[in-house]
């Protein structure tokens, strides 16, 4: 093995992990439409890696599909994390006591019948 050149398995794993993490970051900040240009960028990167490493067309197409899937799974995980954080923050905010007292008329109207 030449110095600085990775085996195919290491390149594949690294590409999938980077795609997953990039999807998680995109899921935290953007809407789902960001996935289209992100998948195009990842596919171009996979083609460049395939050409640089003299990989077959089959390997390149498989890696492009795998990287796109990892990006989408990462996006779902990032969106789920964002929703969990938002719901935890909302629960913390709305658990506080109201800043102003509730008028008696409102308290009577919302009290269940006895």
Please tell me the distance from the alpha carbon of residue 85 to that of residue 92, in angstroms, as a whole number. Answer: 11
Residue 78's domain comprises: 9-110
pTM, to two decimals: 0.72
If one counts the domains in the chain, the total is 1
Domain-located, residue 3: no
CA distances from 79 to 9, 21, 68, 106 (A): 29, 12, 17, 38
DSSP character string of 9-43: HHHHHHHHHHHHHHHHHHHHHS-GGGHHHHHHHHH
Per-residue pLDDT tens digits for 93-106: 777 655 566 566 65
- pLDDT, one tens digit per residue, over 16-63 is 999 999 999 999 999 999 999 999 999 999 999 889 888 889 989 999
Q: Is residue 60 part of a domain?
A: yes
How high is the pLDDT of residue 42?
94
């Amino acid at each position: 093995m030449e110095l600085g050149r990775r085996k195919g398995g290491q390149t594949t794993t690294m590409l999938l992990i980077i795609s997953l993490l990039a999807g998680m970051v995109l899921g935290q900040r953007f809407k789902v439409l960001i996935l289209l240009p992100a998948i195009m960028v990842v596919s171009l990167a996979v083609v460049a890696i395939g050409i640089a490493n003299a990989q077959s067309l089959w390997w390149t197409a498989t890696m492009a599909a795998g990287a796109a899937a990892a990006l989408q799974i990462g996006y779902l995980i990032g969106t789920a994390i964002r929703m969990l954080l938002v719901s935890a923050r909302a629960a913390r905010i709305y658990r506080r006591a109201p800043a102003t007292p509730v008028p008696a008329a409102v308290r009577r109207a919302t009290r269940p019948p006895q």
